[in-house]
Amino acid sequence: MTRQILKFLIAAFSLLLIASIPFSHAIPAGYAHPLDIAAQGGFTSPDPVASTPADSRRPTLTTTADGTPHVAWEESGQILHAFRGQSGWSTPVVVTLGSNPALASAGSTVYLVWADIFGDNLEIFISQWSTASGAWSLSRNVSNTSGNSTTPTIAVSQDGKLFVAWADNTSGVTTTYVAQSDDGGVTWPNSGPIPGGDGLSPAIAIGQDGLVHVVWQSLDNTSNTFDIWHSQQQAALWSAAENISASPGIDSIKPWIAIAPDNRVHTVWEEDSATSSIAYSGGSSLAWSVPVTISQSGNNANLPRIATDDQGSLHVTWRNATSLAIEYRQWFPSSGSWAAIATPPPATNAAGVARPALAAEAGGRIHLAWEQPSASANADVYTTSVATRCSPLVGDVNCTCTVLANDLTILSSHWHSQTGNAAYSLVYDLDDNGQVDLRDIMQAAAHWGDACLISP
Give residue 299's pLDDT.
Answer: 92
- Identify any residues that bridge with 93 across adjacent strands, giving them in sequence order: 81
Specify burial of residue 420 (Cβ count, 10 A radius: 0-12, 13-18, 19+): exposed
Task: State the DSSP code for 168.
Answer: E
pLDDT in tens, 327-380: 999 998 877 889 889 998 887 666 788 999 999 987 788 999 999 987 667 899
Q: Global pTM? A: 0.82
184 near 160, Cβ under 8 Å?
yes
Give residue 40's pLDDT.
Answer: 63
Share of the chain above pLDDT 70, in %: 88
Q: What type of residue sits at position 199?
A: G
309 near 260, Cβ under 8 Å?
no
Indicate the average pLDDT of the chain: 87
Which string of DSSP letters, residue by residue, matches 210-258? --EEEEEEEEETTTTEEEEEEEEEETTEEPPPEESS--TTSEEEEEEEE
Domains recognised in the chain with CATH numbers: 2-33+395-445 (no CATH), 43-387 (2.120.10.10)
pLDDT of 22 > 70? The answer is no
Backbone CA torsion sign across 16, 435, 258, 78: negative
The stretch 12-36 carries a mean pLDDT of 46
Give residue 449's pLDDT.
Answer: 83
